[in-house]
């Protein structure tokens, strides 16, 4: 059964940067936060290098990722930020077998590529979320800490139905997968293409206008990604305003929901907004459908 591990004081965790470059303040504050939780924090001195687009060259980022994955003492791996670049590491990652011991793996946004690979190829559970104190609220980070240290064993979200199928009173029990909408689209045709069969698909996005959201969703629909899915959950879709300052994203999501047969719901507090609660992926979830929606996602924590 897929699980999330439980951290204890004194455990070793490792910060990696498999995508875009972070600034020194962001890296320092993340290390400071983890050490305030009495964790031993590892940052490779060669984490940040010189590259046109990324935090380091593909070879160096791949090496640092694999080192963190196979370092026996490391219990959790925290991606310092997203941006772009994670998918470029998957060809090399696909050549190796998983380590004997699973790690906690935390990231979001562009890290969706690694999340999908780890869930589908290695059968790992992962956490969609971030520990950036510069970007996200203390409440969000406190909940991540509670999950990591085993103080809670599930997370709950309230939501709203976006189509009639989501209003039909019932409970869907399925594993939850997904992440950033654009990165999920990028998975199509790859070895890490999202496996949506009998899954609840979670999607969120930032700074994409309404027409682009519609185009991606319809691409996924025409590619058959939703055909065997149990439900779709939209998280926060922020930014992406029209030239006149308005936003049509909610209308786009609503129209898409009305054009599809499976339940489509929306929850807030998961995505790129200031409030960004952690969401375990690859874990069992209960989606309670009715006029009011509740999502409960388990984090089966073991020692």
Residues catalogued as catalytic: 109, 204, 272
Q: What are the angstrom distances between the C-alpha of 291 and each of 158, 167, 171, 254?
A: 11, 5, 13, 15
Token duo for residue 232: 């779709």
Token duo for residue 183: 């990165």
Token duo for residue 228: 């065997």
Provide the pairing of β-strand 293-298 with 284-289: antiparallel
Q: How far is CA 265 from the centre of its chain?
A: 18
Token duo for residue 222: 């025409």
């Amino acid at each position: 059964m897929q699980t999330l591990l439980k951290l204890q004081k004194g455990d070793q965790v490792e910060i990696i940067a498999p995508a875009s470059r972070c600034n020194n303040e962001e890296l320092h504050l993340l290390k400071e936060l983890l050490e305030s939780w009495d964790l031993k924090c590892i940052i490779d001195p060669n984490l940040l290098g010189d590259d046109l687009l990324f935090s380091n060259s593909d070879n160096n980022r791949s090496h640092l990722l694999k080192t963190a994955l196979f370092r026996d003492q490391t219990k959790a791996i925290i991606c310092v930020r997203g941006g772009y670049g994670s998918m470029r590491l998957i060809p090399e990652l696909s050549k190796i077998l998983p380590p004997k011991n699973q790690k906690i793996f935390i990231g979001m946004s562009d890290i969706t590529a690694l999340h999908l690979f780890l869930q589908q190829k290695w059968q790992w559970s992962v956490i969609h979320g971030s520990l950036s104190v510069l970007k996200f609220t203390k409440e969000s980070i406190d909940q991540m800490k509670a999950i990591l240290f085993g103080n809670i064993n599930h997370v709950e979200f309230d939501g709203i139905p976006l189509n009639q199928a989501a209003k039909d009173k019932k409970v869907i029990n399925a594993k939850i997968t997904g992440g950033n909408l654009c990165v999920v689209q990028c998975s199509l045709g790859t070895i890490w293409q999202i496996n949506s069969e009998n899954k609840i698909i979670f999607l969120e996005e930032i700074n994409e206008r309404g027409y682009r959201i519609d185009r991606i969703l319809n691409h996924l629909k025409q590619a058959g990604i939703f055909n065997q899915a149990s439900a779709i959950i939209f998280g926060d879709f922020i930014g992406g305003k029209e030239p006149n300052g308005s936003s049509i994203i909610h209308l786009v999501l609503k129209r898409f929901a009305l054009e599809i047969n499976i339940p489509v719901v929306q929850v807030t507090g998961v995505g790129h907004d200031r409030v960004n609660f952690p969401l375990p992926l690859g874990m069992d979830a209960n989606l309670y459908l009715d006029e009011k929606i509740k999502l409960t996602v388990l984090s089966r924590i073991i020692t």
